[in-house]
């Protein structure tokens, strides 16, 4: 018997200019709304503790139109209390079911799995206590220029897990055509037939052998006109004026790269089978177009792979590799970036970087993806982790390796030590924290006085923690977080150098510039890497980081997208047209090359994402090519022009390009 019946939540107020329509509902019990601005939405009020016994929040949503909208759901403790946030998107013209586990309010998880048309649910803002939450909002977080029209059923707080949606409503039928393109959009360069795509791919294969890097490049893509001592591997170098990479033969090298050089347009279709116009036989010639469920990812179909198989036959993957590397040379890129088919680059002696996969099978996590670095098993796991480098330790084409990508503990408002204190009652790092505080304060009385909390070292070392923290406590926990970060990266870096002393440690690809408590633990890197989705690389931040660490800086991710070629979202940075993407590319790359501390930028990604969304739901126009391998020529031409003058810009011989396009509010998950 259920002692806690389901609780329907009824909107109490509208927010901003949200309009409610008196129109027939597309969903049982649903209501149509139209939002015309960010912040438009609904507010729900209820008694404090009304959600305390609930385990899930659920509602169904249908997003009209053909452009992505991102929603914000918040839970707040009173008028001025802490606020938990969940940000998510939805596929257009496809019913989505929101199924939020309320354990998310503990902030021990950054993202939940995509389910059908419910895209990339991300936890944000503060940790809250459900016993104190008395209000909720649902509002528009990001949108394009068109109004956002959506149908929403009532929210319900439940103790039982809501049923997953397996047969969603598709008011306009399938969402992808047989080539993997959107059926909801039309645009001038849309491919019209499989025959057209086949002709294009076969022509690209014929032209592949003719593509070359710009004049003046060395065999590694460095600057052939400037040479110093070569070591046979890539290394860093400061010439007295600026930082460089040096290629194996000793030439100055500035890394212009593209991430995800792979057959990379998977469409996640679990629960969305009816959204596909065509699904080839998974047991026949098209078997390689499918990814079967693994490690939390559902079924995926790769229409780019299907197009390649149809056009190029059984040897399609090798032939695609020729086409892909030729396209990079045509555009002037000299680096195969992260998450790529790096063995392809290695065999072709094309400079590349590779990611290391965090493998800590014996080490528990203490907060999000932060391992218990004081657990004795962590040193053993670090050795296992570093063993990944054995196969490339002597490869001259490899520039270096990334230790990880955008650790999710870095997205939290709380430091790792704070998150650990609230979420992990027993672990070695909690005991190390208590020892750290014992050295600082000596005994319980001094600790309690400093923190202005009645506590003890024993309570810090082990057990549940519910007490709100004071600023003094948070400062101490930030200091210990710095110790945790230094031990994390120092242990991994030492283990990697034992296996591979030849290649550059390129860091952790932090999602932006880290706070000081995290940055100081990164001195063990050879190159500091961060991802930077701004209009341009911020000079002051790059110089500050480089000066503090005495290391050069590499940008691991950036891009610009638009909404004019059949994708529902324009990416983390957005401009209006494909021509504007080219101008934005030139501004970003050339201004970065002019920075004395910057040694490269790697564009994310080679291909657009699927209009149906990848494993987490991202569905961006961010590629140099679309799902049919058609290049975006305005962007391609801009890249070629920039790379032809790249070294002259880096050497200060010519000024960087500065004719920026109009930058638009981003539309991304």
> If 0-12 CB within 10 Å is exposed, 13-18 middle and 19+ buried, where does residue 47 land?
exposed
CA 269 to chain centre: 20
**What are the structure tokens assigned to 302, written together?**
């790769």
**What are the structure tokens assigned to 358, written together?**
């965090």
What value does the mean pLDDT of the chain take?
A: 97
pLDDT tens, 338-355?
999 999 999 999 999 999
pTM: 0.97
pLDDT tens, 450-469?
999 999 999 999 999 999 99
What is residue 512's predicted lDDT score, i.e. its pLDDT?
95
Q: Report the DSSP beta bridge partners of residue 111.
A: 122
Please give the Cα distance from 246 to 223 (Å, whole number): 9
Residue 526 burial (CB count, 10 A):
18
- How many Å from the N-terminal Cα to the C-terminal Cα in the chain? 39
pLDDT for residue 3 is more than 70: no
Least confident of 160-169, 267-276, 290-299: 290-299
Q: Which residue, 43, 59, 83, 74, is CA-closest to 7?
A: 59
Backbone angles phi, psi at 32, to 5 degrees: -85, 135
* C-alpha triplet 21, 25, 27: angle, nearest 5°: 135
pLDDT tens, 369-379?
999 999 999 99
Average pLDDT, integer, range 37-45: 98
**Which 3 state secondary structure label does DSSP give 291?**
strand
Q: In the chain, helix, strand, coil percent, each to 5? A: 30, 25, 45
Q: Which residue, 150, 130, 131, is CA-closest to 140?
A: 150
pLDDT for residue 96 is more than 80: yes
Cis amide linkage into residue 538, ω under 30° from 0: no
What is residue 224's predicted lDDT score, i.e. its pLDDT?
97
Average pLDDT, integer, range 139-148: 98
The beta-strand segments (E) located in 537-643 are: 553-557, 574-575, 598-603
Q: Which residue, 216, 197, 213, is CA-closest to 205?
A: 197
At residue 1 the predicted structure's pLDDT band, cuts being 50, 70 and 90, is: very low
What is residue 458's predicted lDDT score, i.e. its pLDDT?
98
pLDDT tens, 70-94?
999 999 999 999 999 999 999 999 9
Share of the chain above pLDDT 70, in %: 99
What is residue 192's predicted lDDT score, i.e. its pLDDT?
98
pLDDT tens, 555-610?
999 999 999 999 999 999 999 999 999 999 999 999 999 999 999 999 999 999 99
At residue 296 the predicted structure's pLDDT band, cuts being 50, 70 and 90, is: low
The CATH class given to the 7-158 domain equals: mainly beta
Average pLDDT, integer, range 14-21: 98
**What are the structure tokens assigned to 524, written together?**
């063990």
What stretches of 269-375 show up as alpha helix (H) in DSSP?
303-312, 316-331, 342-347
**What are the structure tokens assigned to 669, written together?**
């998950």
């Amino acid at each position: 018997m259920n002692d806690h019946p389901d609780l329907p939540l009824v909107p109490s107020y509208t927010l901003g200019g949200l309009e409610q329509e008196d129109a027939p509902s597309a969903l049982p019990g649903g209501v149509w709304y139209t939002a015309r601005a960010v912040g438009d939405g609904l507010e729900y009020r209820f008694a404090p503790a009304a959600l305390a016994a609930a385990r899930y929040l659920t509602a169904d949503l249908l997003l009209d139109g053909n452009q992505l909208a991102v929603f914000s759901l918040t839970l707040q403790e009173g008028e001025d209390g802490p606020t938990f946030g969940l940000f998510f998107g939805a596929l257009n013209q496809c019913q989505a079911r929101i199924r939020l586990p309320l354990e998310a309010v503990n902030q021990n998880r950054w993202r939940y799995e995509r389910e059908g048309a419910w895209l990339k649910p991300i936890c944000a803002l503060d940790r809250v206590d459900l016993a104190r939450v008395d209000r909720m909002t649902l509002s528009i977080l990001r949108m394009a220029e068109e109004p956002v029209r959506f149908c929403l059923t009532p929210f319900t707080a439940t103790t039982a897990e809501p049923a997953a949606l397996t047969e969603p409503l598709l008011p306009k039928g399938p969402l992808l055509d047989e080539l993997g393109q959107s059926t909801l959009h039309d645009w001038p360069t849309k491919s019209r037939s499989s025959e057209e795509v086949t002709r294009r791919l076969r022509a690209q294969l014929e032209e592949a052998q003719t593509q070359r890097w710009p004049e003046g490049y060395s065999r590694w893509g460095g600057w052939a006109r400037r040479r110093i001592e070569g070591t046979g591997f890539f290394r860093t170098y400061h010439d007295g004026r600026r930082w460089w990479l040096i290629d194996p033969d000793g030439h100055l090298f500035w890394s212009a790269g593209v991430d995800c050089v792979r057959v990379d347009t998977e469409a996640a279709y679990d629960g969305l089978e009816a959204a596909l116009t065509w699904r080839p036989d998974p047991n026949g010639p098209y078997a390689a177009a499918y990814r079967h469920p693994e490690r939390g990812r559902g079924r995926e179909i790769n229409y780019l792979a299907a197009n390649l198989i149809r056009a190029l036959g059984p040897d399609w993957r090798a032939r695609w590799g020729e086409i892909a590397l030729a396209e990079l040379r045509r555009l002037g890129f000299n680096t195969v970036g992260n998450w790529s088919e790096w063995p392809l680059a290695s065999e072709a002696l094309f400079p590349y970087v590779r990611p290391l996969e965090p493998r800590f099978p014996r080490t528990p996590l203490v907060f999000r993806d932060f391992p218990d670095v004081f657990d004795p098993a962590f040193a053993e796991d670090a050795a296992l982790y570093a063993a990944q480098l054995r196969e490339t330790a002597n490869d001259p084409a490899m520039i270096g390796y990334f230790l990880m990508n955008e650790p999710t503990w870095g997205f939290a408002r709380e430091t790792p030590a704070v998150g650990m204190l609230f979420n992990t009652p027993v672990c070695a790092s909690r005991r190390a924290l208590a020892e750290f505080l014992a050295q600082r304060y000596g005994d319980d009385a001094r600790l309690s006085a400093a923190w202005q909390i009645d506590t003890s070292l024993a309570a810090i070392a082990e057990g549940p923690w519910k007490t709100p923290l004071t600023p003094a406590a948070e400062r101490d926990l930030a200091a210990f977080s710095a110790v945790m970060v230094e031990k994390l990266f120092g242990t991994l870096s030492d283990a990697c150098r034992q296996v591979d002393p030849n290649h550059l440690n390129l860091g952790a690809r932090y999602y932006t510039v880290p706070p000081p408590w995290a940055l100081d633990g990164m001195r063990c890197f050879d190159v500091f890497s961060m991802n930077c989705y701004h209009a341009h690389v911020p000079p002051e931040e790059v110089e500050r980081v480089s000066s503090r660490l005495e290391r050069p800086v590499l940008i691991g991710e950036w891009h610009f997208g638009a909404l004019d070629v059949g994708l529902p979202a324009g990416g983390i940075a957005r401009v209006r047209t494909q021509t504007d993407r080219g101008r934005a590319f030139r501004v970003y790359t050339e201004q970065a090359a002019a920075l004395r501390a910057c040694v490269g930028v790697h564009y994310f990604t080679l291909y657009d994402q699927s209009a149906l969304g990848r494993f987490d739901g991202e569905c961006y126009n961010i590629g140099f090519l679309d799902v049919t391998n058609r290049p975006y020529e305005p962007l391609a031409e801009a890249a070629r022009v920039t790379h032809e003058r790249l070294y002259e810009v880096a050497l200060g011989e010519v000024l960087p390009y500065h004719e920026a396009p109009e930058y638009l509010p981003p539309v991304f998950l």
